[in-house]
Amino acid sequence: MYSNVLNYRGKRYLWLALGLLLVSVLLYLSQRPTLPPNGGSWQGYVLGSIALTMILWLSWLGIRKRRYQSNLGSLQGWTSAHIYLGIVVPLIATLHGAFQFGVNVHTLAWALMCLVVLSGFYGLYAYLRHPRAMVENRANQSFDERLADLAAADEKALALGAQCDPGVDAVITSCIERSALGGGFWDQLLQRDRSTVLLPTDRGERMSDNRNQDAVANYIADSLTRSSKAGEAQRLQQLLAIVVRRRELLCRLRREISLQLRLKLWLSIHIPATVALLAALLVHIFTVFFYW
């Protein structure tokens, strides 16, 4: 059976989490008829302590995963426990607060915890889905290898371009120089192709959109129909093949960047929200006992 963090050791941490949740629900229900359930009853304090301990332990994963020499269980086991226990923490914390919400530091801690867990859900989804898509996208070529391929294609195109009509040479040069990869956040995330090219016009060169290398491919195809020099058509054919090859390489590179971004983006919410949660918990606990 395919093993991942979710089915680690027969889902032992799933059962642990469910057991913890069951105990918490029983604790919560035991508050009636004594009181309306409340975070200030002894059951509320116990539930709060459980949730706090779990949050501190869950936060510790960020440190544990950097301690490669640690003998405290495997990292896969820690991650599996992190996921399952992390999923039940909001439920236990909600029972601790007895579904009472308001505009206060206590609800802020709860909301931040939910944000951490929701971002964690996305992280889990990303880690289960994107690596496979990245492998498929790479087709047994690393990112650097593909980049080297692109460089080689560029070299070949420039060499061929130099042997062609000066106009074609200029377009090929411009196309290579202005082929865009990556870019800003949205460009990376949405795999936007903002490539441009300077194409000749009656009054000089003019900047044109070269998305998917279409403009250059069209230009070379048009040049092909007009070529009359010996060997020009063959060189243009080769150039066209290189443009198509570059298009594919650029597309795959953009997709990989996007997948890498998606794979790590959730951490930009998960980690800051966790730190904010720890700060909010500190305020929550302090204020509860300050105004006891």
Partner 1 sequence: MAILIRKTRLKNGAILDQRDSEFHSDTLTLGSDSHSDLQLFGDDVAPRHATLQLEPSGHITLRALGEHALETDAGRLDNIELEPGDSVRLGPHRIELIEVPPGFDAALELRVDDDAKPDIRHRYAEALRLKLPSGRALSYISALLIIVAGLAIPLAGYFQPEFAAKTQSLPTPSDHLWLSGPLSDPHHVPGVADNCQSCHSTPFKQVGNAECSACHQHTTAHFIAPHPGVTDNAEQCTNCHKEHNEPSMLIVSDNALCINCHAQSLQRSAGNIGQSDTIAAATAFSEKTHPGFKVALLQLQQGGDELVWQRVAKSLDRPETREHSNLKFSHQLHLAGNEIKVSGAGGGERNLQCADCHTLAPDGEHFQPITMESSCQRCHSLDFNDQQPRRELPHTDGDELYYYLEEFFISAAVKMRNSDSEPAERWVPNWEMKQRCEGLNTLECGQRLADWEAEQLFNKTGCINCHQVSKVDGQTPRRWQVKPVRLVQDWFISSRFDHRPHVLGPEGTDGACLSCHQADTSEHASDILMPKLDTCVSCHGSEQHSQRSLQCVDCHAFHRDGMPAMASGLPQSHPPLTPGEGAP
Site residues (CB under 8 A) for partner 1? 33-36, 38-40, 98, 100, 102-106, 108, 144, 147-148, 150-151, 154, 166, 169-170, 177-185, 188, 194-196, 198, 201, 203-207, 257, 260-261, 264-265, 267-268, 271-276, 278-280, 282-283, 286-292
Rounded to 10 deg, the angle between the 267-290 and 42-59 helix axes is 150
What minimum distance in Å lies between the beta carbon of 33 and partner 1? 5
Give CA–CA dist 223/216, Å, rounded: 10
Nearer to partner 1, 68 or 99 (CB): 99
Nearer to partner 1, 58 or 257 (CB): 257
Please state whether 99 falls in left (phi above 0), alpha (psi between -120 and 50) or beta: left
3-class secondary structure, 198: strand
Give CA–CA dist 25/48, Å, rounded: 13
Nearer to partner 1, 24 or 210 (CB): 210
CB-CB neighbours of 279 under 10 Å? 14
What minimum distance in Å lies between the beta carbon of 241 and partner 1? 20
Nearer to partner 1, 12 or 255 (CB): 255
What minimum distance in Å lies between the beta carbon of 122 and partner 1? 14
What minimum distance in Å lies between the beta carbon of 49 and partner 1? 16
101 close to 248: Cβ distance less than 8 angstroms: no
Q: What is the β-pairing status of strands 204-209 and 196-201?
A: antiparallel
